[in-house]
Amino acid sequence: MIPYQKEKIENAICFFASEHSKRTKKPLYQLFLYKYLALFDFKSIEETGRPALGLKYMAMDRGPVPIEIYDARKVLKTKCYEFRNVEENKYIIIPKGNPNLDFFSPYEIKKMHELVEIYADIFVKSSDISEASHQDIKAWRRAWKKKPNSIIEYELQFDGDIKHKNPKELTPVEESFLIYKSIEEAST
């Protein structure tokens, strides 16, 4: 369970929409948002053992897609942002106001800024960020190879089966992930 998960997700979407638009002078399209969110979660898993947002992702052709957001995109509107249909199955995300970054740790804020530094550029195309998600998110590659359009398990971001790894051989990040996973399973 992630404290303030709903608020973190809303404010992360607002952050990416506003920062992307400021830097590119273009609206944030849904594909870019999905990749920002996935890169944020999976890089956090890789570096800290915990996802920043804890969204559920599906291994789709163009990379990981947060299914709760994808499924609700036609009606998604909060006090922080709204999805707007601009063409058939093409949505842009409109930020409403400024994101509240108080919900994020310094690490998470730094990571969000790093992502927009890299991808919020007029020369970065949707195919570029999609390819980056294919390259940087091992869990997507493994889930896609096993079964396209399946749920991506966070543990696939680690090498090997960490659940059955000798506890003495676990890295601190792997230990942190197993603790996170145990708490998540216990709370459901």
**Long-range CB contact pairs, 103-106, < 8 A, 24+:** 103/4, 103/7, 103/8, 103/11, 104/8, 104/11, 104/12, 104/52
Query: Considering the chain, what percentage of its residues have pLDDT values greater than 70?
Result: 99
Q: Which helix (H) or strand (E) holds 161?
A: none
Chain-wide mean pLDDT for the chain? 95
- Tell me which residue of 47, 91, 90, 43 sits closest to 64, measured CA to CA: 43
pLDDT for res 81: 97
pLDDT for res 86: 96
- Whose tokens are 């195309």? That residue is 125
Residues 20 and 32 sit within 8 Å (Cβ to Cβ): yes
Q: Which two tokens stand for residue 149?
A: 């359009």
Q: Does residue 1 carry a pLDDT above 70?
A: no
Q: Which two tokens stand for residue 167?
A: 């506890």
pLDDT tens, 113-130? Answer: 999 999 999 999 999 999
Q: Which two tokens stand for residue 75?
A: 């009606």
Query: Considering the chain, what percentage of its residues have pLDDT values greater than 90?
Result: 93
pLDDT for res 3: 82
State the residue range of the domain holding 77.
5-187
pLDDT tens, 92-107? Answer: 999 998 999 999 999 9
d(CA 51, CA 175): 14
Q: Does residue 188 carry a pLDDT above 80?
A: no
pLDDT tens, 168-186? Answer: 999 999 999 999 999 988 9
| Other Cβ atoms closer than 10 A to 73 | 16
Going from the C-alpha of 29 to that of each of 17, 70, 97, the distances in angstroms are: 9, 12, 18
Residues 12 and 66 sit within 8 Å (Cβ to Cβ): no
pLDDT for res 174: 96
Give first-to-last CA distance, the chain, whole Å.
9
pLDDT tens, 63-81? Answer: 999 999 999 999 999 999 9
Band the pLDDT of 187: cuts 50, 70, 90.
confident
Q: Does residue 2 carry a pLDDT above 90?
A: no
| Total structural domains within the chain | 1
Paired strand residues for 66:
57
As a whole number, mean pLDDT of residues 144-155 equals 96
Residues 16 and 84 sit within 8 Å (Cβ to Cβ): no
